[in-house]
Structure 1
Amino acid sequence: MTQPPTVAAVLAAHSRVVEVGIGARPDVAAALAERGCAVTATDIEACTVPETVRFVRDDVTDPERAVYEAADAVYALRCPPELQRAVVDVAGAVGAACYLTTLGGEPVVVPVSERRTVASGALFVARDA
């Protein structure tokens, strides 16, 4: 049986991505950078990221649009329901695709066009580019 792809494998179809709310888990951002993607990570708190990932302190509920403008895709991992709309809105404002994963049994509260099975669970496509 074929194993489902990783989140990084799916997102690597995009050349420039922004991860919203990276926190202390830079694994996907690092994997994307290793695959040749230009990766920017954001969080409301200062975070340590690999040298291959650009970090910008930003609040997605009051975003600095310039951080996202060059992105082909915006994604958030373990995205809580209260931030999902803001992530989708910033992606839409810059014409980028938008992907979300949730934490455990938390719901997706924004419309999604697709639910993809990935190695870590489900990846929701909230906006196609």
Structure 2
Amino acid sequence: MTSPSRRALVTELDRFDRLLEVGCGDRLGVASDLADRGRDVVAIDVAVDDDPGGVTDEPAGENRSADEGEAAADGSLRVRRGDVVALADAADPSSTLASGNADGTGIDAVYARRLPAELQRPTVDLAARLEAACLFTTLGFEEPIVPVERRSIPGMTLYVARDR
């Protein structure tokens, strides 16, 4: 069963065609739901796999939590090892991410769930370099350390650091 807050977040992000989720861990529910709605999603985390060789594409179905459901049919979901700090500092972050995007045309929005304070600035910087919107939630007990607009959606506050 999908929580009301997850449904609200998916609805909010559904206006974007190509998305990057930062710090996905093993919680791929939002990314999976977006892919099921026909969106192209790249989800990154430093702990996606144990391969120290860098960024790798992996089939979405094998990376989902047991409660995440069937593989995406309409859109695409690529789960990759990636570090938002390194991507924000990369010479060309869009080319690094393009290979993980179905059509290679870039990212419309960067989003994160439960984004810790120390990763907020690099996430916003990466979104700016990609000319993408940037939306996130925090761990709950932390306030954003970057300038944001607050949006109340069922079950949570969504912080918008960049809008398009």
- Normalised by the length of structure 2, the TM-score is 0.71
SS in 2 for 1:108: coil
The answer on whether the counterparts of 1:56 and 1:67 sit within 8 Å (CA) in structure 2 is no
- Higher mean C-alpha displacement, 56-65 vs 20-29: 56-65
Instruction: Calculate percent identity across the aligned residue pairs.
Output: 42
Per the alignment, residue 126 of structure 1 pairs with: 161
Answer yes or no: is 1:21 the counterpart of 2:23. yes
| Alpha-carbon offset, residue 23 of structure 1 | 0.5
| Alpha-carbon offset, residue 54 of structure 1 | 0.3
| Alpha-carbon offset, residue 41 of structure 1 | 0.2
| Alpha-carbon offset, residue 55 of structure 1 | 1.1
- Higher mean C-alpha displacement, 86-95 vs 62-71: 62-71
The runs of at least 4 aligned residues of structure 1 exceeding 3 Å deviation read 49-52
| Alpha-carbon offset, residue 21 of structure 1 | 0.4
Matched letter for residue 60 of structure 1: V
Matched letter for residue 43 of structure 1: D
SS in 2 for 1:61: helix
Per the alignment, residue 45 of structure 1 pairs with: 47
Decide which structure has greater strand share: 1
Structure with greater Cα Rg: 2
Q: How many residues are aligned here?
A: 126
Per the alignment, residue 58 of structure 2 pairs with: none
| Alpha-carbon offset, residue 82 of structure 1 | 0.3
Select 1:87's aligned residue among 116, 119, 123: 123
- Normalised by the length of structure 1, the TM-score is 0.89
